[in-house]
Structure 1
Amino acid sequence: MKINSEDYWSERYRNGSTGWDMGGPAPALTAYADQLTDKSIRILLPGAGRAYEAEYLFRAGFTALTVIDIAAEPLADLKARVPEFPESQLIPADFFEFQGGPFDLILEHTFFCALPPALRSEYVRKMAALLAPDGKLAGLFFSFPLTEQGPPFGGSAAEYRALFSPYFEIKTLEQATNSIPPRMGNELFFIFELPEQQL
Structure 2
Amino acid sequence: MDLSQEFWDNRYQSNDIGWDLGVVSPPLKAYFDQLINKELKILIPGGGNSYDAEYLFNKGFKNIFVVDLSKTALDNLKARAPDFPSSNLILNNFFDLNMTFDLIIEQTFFCAIDPSLRSDYAKKASEILNSKGNVSGLLFDAVLNTTHPPFGGSKTEYLGYFKPFFEIKIMDEAYNSIKPRAGRELFFIIQKKG
What's the TM-score once normalised by structure 1's chain length? 0.95
Q: Which runs of 5+ in 2 are unaligned?
A: none
* 2:158 aligned residue (145, 160, 168): 160
Q: Which runs of 5+ in 1 are unaligned?
A: none
Question: Hey, what does 2:110 align to over in structure 1?
Answer: 112
Tell me, in whole angstroms, the C-alpha distance in 2 between the residues paired with 1:150 and 1:143.
Answer: 17
Question: Hey, what does 1:129 align to over in structure 2?
Answer: 127
Moved more, 144-153 or 103-112: 144-153
Question: Hey, what does 1:175 align to over in structure 2?
Answer: 173
% identical aligned pairs: 48
Tell me the number of residue pairs that the alignment of Structure 1 and Structure 2 aligns: 194
Q: What's the CA shift for 1:177?
A: 0.7
Q: What's the CA shift for 1:44?
A: 0.5
Asked if residue 89 in structure 1 is aligned to residue 88 in structure 2, the reply is yes
Q: Alignment partner of 1:85: what SS?
A: coil
Q: What's the CA shift for 1:98?
A: 1.5
Tell me, in whole angstroms, the C-alpha distance in 1 between the residues paired with 2:82 and 2:14.
Answer: 24
Letter in 2 for 1:168: F
What's the TM-score once normalised by structure 2's chain length? 0.97
Q: How does 1:33-48 map to 2 (within 5 A)?
A: 33-48=32-47
Q: What's the CA shift for 1:145?
A: 2.0
Tell me, in whole angstroms, the C-alpha distance in 1 between the residues paired with 2:143 and 2:11.
Answer: 24
Q: Alignment partner of 1:140: what SS?
A: strand
Q: Alignment partner of 1:28: what SS?
A: helix
Q: What's the CA shift for 1:147?
A: 5.1
Letter in 2 for 1:25: V
Q: What's the CA shift for 1:30?
A: 1.0
Letter in 1 for 2:185: E
Tell me, in whole angstroms, the C-alpha distance in 1 between the residues paired with 2:182 and 2:63.
Answer: 31
- What's the C-alpha RMSD, in Å, of the aligned pairs? 1.0
Q: Alignment partner of 2:6: what SS?
A: helix
Q: Alignment partner of 1:112: what SS?
A: coil
Tell me, in whole angstroms, the C-alpha distance in 2 between the residues paired with 1:10 and 1:37.
Answer: 34
Q: What's the CA shift for 1:14?
A: 1.2
Deviations 1:24-65 (A, max 9, x none): 111111111111111011100100000000000000000111
Q: How does 1:1-199 map to 2 (within 5 A)?
A: 2-3=2-3, 5-101=4-100, 103-145=101-143, 148-196=146-194
Q: What's the CA shift for 1:146?
A: 5.8
Give every structure 1 segment of 4 or more consecutive aligned residues whose post-TM-superposition deviation is greater than 4 Å.
none
Q: Alignment partner of 1:55: what SS?
A: helix
Deviations 1:96-155 (A, max 9, x none): 111111x11100000000011011111111100010010000000001126523310001
